[in-house]
Amino acid sequence: MWRISDNVARVEQRLALAVTAFSTAIFTFLLCEGKPWLLFSKGGFTTDFYDVQARSFLKGKLDVPPEIAEIEGFVVDGATYLYYGPTLAILRFPSALFGSWADGRLTRFSMVIGFVLLCTITFHLTQRITRLIGMTLDSRWKSAVIVAAVAISPALYLAGWPSVYHETELWSLVFILATFTFLCDVLDDPNKKVVFLATGAAVASILTRVSVGLGAVSAVIIVGLFIWKKKRPLSLVMIGGALSGVAIHCALNFAKMGSLFDLPGDRQVLTLTNPERAIWFAGNNNSFFGFPFIPTTSFHYLRPDTIEFERLFPFIKFGPRADVFSSYPLESNTPSSSLTASATLLIVLAVMGLVVAFRKKLFVLLPLLIGSVVAAGPTLAIGFIANRYLIDLLPGLIVLAIVAVASVSIRKPLIFSGAVLLIGWGLWVNSSLAIWTIGVEKPGFTDFRYTLDEKVFGGAAPNVISIKEAELTPDDGVLGVLGDCDGLYIVSSDLWVRLELKDQKHFIEGTVIPSGETLLMSNDSEKISLISSRDESTVTAVYQNNDGFELASGPIDWHGKELEVKVISDPWSEELLRGLSVSINGEQVLHDLFNTPSLDSMTVNDAFSLIPAQDQGVPICTSLSKRGFS
């Protein structure tokens, strides 16, 4: 018998539940940046994609407003579409029925629910695979170890960014593991209930993330062929249901993008506004994918040196970028760890499980393993490197890891201690990378890191340099001081991102009540002003220079109240942040990439009442300067 005593089984379930609760608490803590009240707060860009898509579906439409999709939208025949599948949008129907009140507020909650389901389904998959291969869970700790291995894998890293990208990745893993769980039941005892559950999970999977979903659908079709002779009606249901999921995806993709599976990379707004990206797609047949990318992605996602240790909290950060082996360059080579570095326990167990499966000839697991390979294929063929894509490579590792744990005696002190150490390692690595992703571009995070470093180590501040225009961009995480603390920047994804700017030199903040055309500041060649409408209902921000250049914002609701205005002239940040910007009441209304006027050379109008900044607006830089740089 595969089962252990009911008493031990209950203890086993409680341990797995405890691991789930503990890891979910960590996931939620990271996701909410240590502030649980942020769980339902409005998120940033992309967090409202599924909400808006849900309302479009309810109106019988597939397109979405271009101002929502922004750079992620695909413009086809004048309409703007999102490429994300409909499953998670459909799950938002209950909130979408009552308007836009929930837009951007459900992503964190959805991710927490997805993480809980991931841990829960992993427990049940462990039970099903163990039974299917005729082995015995002879320890109450075995299921808990597998749940922990999944919980502290790159799935934990997803908490570092509440976004449509991470939400989709998390749920795609949930759906394919759910498909595998129900397929084990089909292989063990095929009946209508488990057949419908397995097929339904696979359809949900392909309508969430098509690349992973193709793996779930492939597994269902293979199992359907396995039972063809004995249960032909059920087999037809499985094969037909799986193919119907593929057909629905193809129909939706064709209706939106004009192709069955591919996405027109040249029609994405980001491509239309980025000449370099447009050239890349033109040279890659306007596709995101290509077989030449597989050596590069495969090598990087397996190499062990993809993280680095440093003295600053959280003491681990992303390591070197991927080495490109293909004849055609990657379009995007963002910071990413690897399976060996951040899913170490799963890798170790999967290698052991592969040996066991080969020796014991566990052919019954082939549908799950083939499905896992199919799910990983598109990710390895895409011309992008990103840490979140590691999620697509986990299903096969999880299946083999379960085989290993079911085969090895975990009661041995050496094995148990090794598992605990690797669980701790995965928790440290993935939580650190999540923390890094959350905070790298936030001044408060940098201030905390360097304050802690000063208290613990003292001495000169590490990883701080003086910015010189001729120098190459240094490694991620390095701070750059502009001039005499005129600005403080940090390198993120090979780009300089501003943290601080000196008050009244590169930024000025104050209050004003416009009246007609109200001059904020000016010199002999430039001026910045606000122009109010006759009925004082709106106001427009305007920048002008003597070269005849004029840039004006759209009308901004005003109604005669005092306005808080911030003017920034950033000479060093990466391109999208560089230049002149004007914000009114915290919202940017004007941005020019090509002009960076010297604000300290301008005279401020008396009507513009300045708000002095603490430590001239560069308190972190001031503190670092006192310590000195190393």
Q: What is the pLDDT of residue 2?
A: 37
pLDDT the model gives residue 139: 66
Looking at residue 469, its pLDDT comes to 62
Q: Which residues contact 237 (CB under 8 A, 6 or more apart)?
A: 192, 195, 196, 199, 224
Q: Consecutive 10-residue runs of the chain (630 residues): their mean pLDDT?
A: 55 92 98 95 95 97 95 95 96 94 96 98 96 77 93 98 97 98 96 97 98 98 94 95 97 94 92 93 93 96 96 95 92 96 98 95 96 97 97 98 87 83 98 96 96 95 84 85 93 91 94 92 92 88 90 88 93 84 92 87 93 92 88
* Helices 210-226 and 232-257, packing angle to 10 deg: 160
Q: How many CA atoms lie within 13 A of 180 on its CB side?
A: 39
Distance in angstroms (rounded) separating the CA atoms of residues 407 and 208: 34
Greatest Cα pair distance in the chain: 89
Q: Judge contact between 566 and 583, C-beta under 8 A.
A: yes
Q: How many CA atoms lie within 13 A of 95 on its CB side?
A: 21
**3-class secondary structure per residue, 297-327:** HHHHHHCCCCEEECCCCCCEEECCCCCCCCC
Q: Give the three-class secondary structure for 531.
A: strand
**Complete domains list, the chain, with CATH:** 6-437 (no CATH), 446-501+622-627 (no CATH), 507-612 (2.60.120)
- Euclidean distance between CA atoms 55 and 52, whole angstroms: 5
Beta strand 332-333 with 384-385 is parallel
First to last CA, the chain: 64
Q: 3-class SS at 65?
A: coil
- At residue 565, φ and ψ (nearest 5 deg) are -120, 130
Q: Quote the pTM value.
A: 0.93
Angle at 65 between CA 59 and CA 69, to 5 degrees: 125
Contact between 62 and 56 under an 8 Å Cβ cutoff? The reply is yes
Task: Write the single-letter amino acid at 511.
Answer: T
Q: Which residues of 392-417 are buried (b: 16+ CB within 10 A; e: fewer)?
A: bbbbbbbbbbbbbbbbbebeeeeeee
pLDDT at 416: 82
CA torsion sign for 323, 325, 327, 332 is negative
Cα(149)–Cα(420) distance, rounded to whole angstroms? 10
Q: Dihedral through CA 340, CA 343, CA 344, CA 350, nearest 10?
A: -100
